[in-house]
Structure 1
Amino acid sequence: MTGRSLDGRVAVVTGGTDGIGLAVARAFAEHGAAVLLSGRSTEKGAQAAAEVGEAARFVRADATRREEAEAVIDHALDAFGRVDVLVNNVGGSAGFARVHELADEAWRHAMTLNLDSAFWATRRVLPSMMERRHGRIINMSSVEGKQATMPAISHYVTAKHALHGFTKAVALEYGRHGVTCNALCPGAVPTGSRPSGDAAAEAAGMTREEFVAHFVDATKTGRLNTADEVAAVALLLAGEAGAGITGALWSVDGGTASW
């Protein structure tokens, strides 16, 4: 895609201080958007905003707290007067275990982090999008939202499947108000060493190397996708070229998903 497809647009990217979120923020800024990033670490947020450039701002927020998730949207509306694109990128899980050993706390946290956070931010931004009759909502899901490929992550799998239902419901309810809603479903994406990945590998009875190899072997390309490749699809959905796409679940997984 060439040109500046998001000139004059304002985007919010939750969890945008590293990994896929940061790649999405960079792509949006490079194509003309003002970008507001949120995250829990002020230090990482400052570094990310500096990396994205002058078009970026950072707001510290814990997306598992409703009032903070909503405040991110309020801040963007106050600062820019509009939100054209919302990327619900916050997600993940912890407390990995098979179902018979999974703790209530791990289950609830996964639902709050992956599903509730997207609901809170989306609910907050929709009235302004409806008023302007324009909006793009992109939910960051996973290949695990289409199929279960790994043991000990049932809470994550379930939350991402639920996120797909939410995506389709928003698409149905707001499509005739000029608002689209889609989900991206990446496979494993290398974003550096993360404790959650190590914990998930251990719970599945694998080394980190075996864990990564599992995802590589499941692809048809023989490699993991990059964060920039995921961001490229987000860029399509965020711009006018994606105006006719809604309620869709886009795999960016090297052919891993069966549908």
Structure 2
Amino acid sequence: MRILITGGTSGLGLAMARALVEDGHRIVITGRAAERAADVAATLPGEVHGIGMDARDSTSVRAGRDSTIDLLGGLDVLVNNAGIGMRTVNPRFMVERQPFWQVPEAGFRDVVDTNLTGYFLVASAVVPDLLASPGGRIINVSVNYATMTRAGFVPYGPSRAGSEALSRVMAADLADTSVRVNILLPGGGTATGMTEGVVADGAHLLSADVMAEPVRWLCSPAAADTHDQRIVATEFQDWLANADSRRS
């Protein structure tokens, strides 16, 4: 598979890139800083390219799409993962809640532009390429429902709720095509840059590697008919067993 992973230089994106390159997929990872993306890509085995792309900016997204097609010769899978968290508007968000009316407008817009508008812009740019693939796929990374409505989690919670709604609409719009759309989320707080320094010592955080097994499966032939599903990584084996029993 030829795979584009946005926000692939760290955290969940990097963990998914590591897992997928081990399966022999050809990958492009993006980051806002092109040099950092290239440096991170160089640390991974196999064919991994790192390019600069700002998911908030349509011109940057179109250029990133063009670079991806030039590098891979086409595209089969988009993993929409690029995002920013609560610490950008409240560095102490886990211990000092900031009510929504105190959130700076610029911070609100930046999070929504990245986490919601970014998913729309990137998917919109590459859907024609995915439709040209024998089996195109979109995997939109999300979070737990509780995070979407948690006190003090504006704008992060609403931005992720919006991206889930967008994912469901994408799935509906693409239902009669060859492109499959699914949602993937860790199933709890993860030890990434979004939580570093703001979560109490000893708090239980999932490893970013929790995403490895389900994303590998979603990029495999076994998932060719899986569409409009919400897959929680910590519950993946149970979900898979139930899906298998429904098909049998």
TM range (shorter): 0.7 to 0.9
> Any unmatched runs of 5+ in structure 1?
1-8, 202-207, 217-223
Distance 2:207 2:169 in 1: 29
Judge conservation of contact 2:34–2:53 (CA < 8 Å) in 1: no
For 1:153, the equivalent position in structure 2 comes to 153
Matched, 1:69 2:70: no
Residue from 214, 233, 237 that aligns with 1:252: 233
For 1:166, the equivalent position in structure 2 comes to 166
For 1:128, the equivalent position in structure 2 comes to 129
Judge conservation of contact 1:225–1:252 (CA < 8 Å) in 2: no
Judge conservation of contact 2:76–2:133 (CA < 8 Å) in 1: no
Matched, 1:56 2:48: yes
Q: How many angstroms does 1:42 deviate by?
A: 3.7
Distance 1:131 1:198 in 2: 40
Q: How many angstroms does 1:125 deviate by?
A: 0.9
Q: How many angstroms does 1:81 deviate by?
A: 1.9
Distance 2:148 2:164 in 1: 14
Deviation string, structure 1 residues 119-150 (Cα, Å, up to 9, x no partner): 1110111112223342111111111x455474
Judge conservation of contact 1:37–1:45 (CA < 8 Å) in 2: yes
Percent identical residues: 27
For 2:181, the equivalent position in structure 1 comes to 181
Partner of 2:30: helix, strand, or coil? strand
For 2:22, the equivalent position in structure 1 comes to 30
Amino acid at match of 1:106: G
Distance 2:54 2:9 in 1: 13
Distance 1:148 1:140 in 2: 13
> Any unmatched runs of 5+ in structure 2?
91-97, 237-248
Residue from 10, 20, 23 that aligns with 1:18: 10
For 1:205, the equivalent position in structure 2 comes to none
Q: How many angstroms does 1:180 deviate by?
A: 0.9
Distance 2:56 2:4 in 1: 17
For 1:4, the equivalent position in structure 2 comes to none
Partner of 2:174: helix, strand, or coil? helix
Deviation string, structure 1 residues 81-104 (Cα, Å, up to 9, x no partner): 211111111012321331121121
Q: How many angstroms does 1:48 deviate by?
A: 1.6
For 1:3, the equivalent position in structure 2 comes to none
Partner of 1:63: helix, strand, or coil? coil
Q: TM-score, normalization: structure 2?
A: 0.83
Distance 2:196 2:49 in 1: 31
Amino acid at match of 1:34: R
Residue from 166, 187, 197 that aligns with 2:195: 197
Q: Map 1:186-225 onto structure 2 (within 5 A).
A: 186=186, 187-191=188-192, 194=193, 196-197=194-195, 201=198, 208-209=199-200, 213=203, 216=204, 224-225=205-206
For 2:240, the equivalent position in structure 1 comes to none
Judge conservation of contact 1:133–1:177 (CA < 8 Å) in 2: no
- When residues 82 and 117 of structure 1 are mapped into structure 2, their CA distance, relative to the original with a 3 A threshold, is same
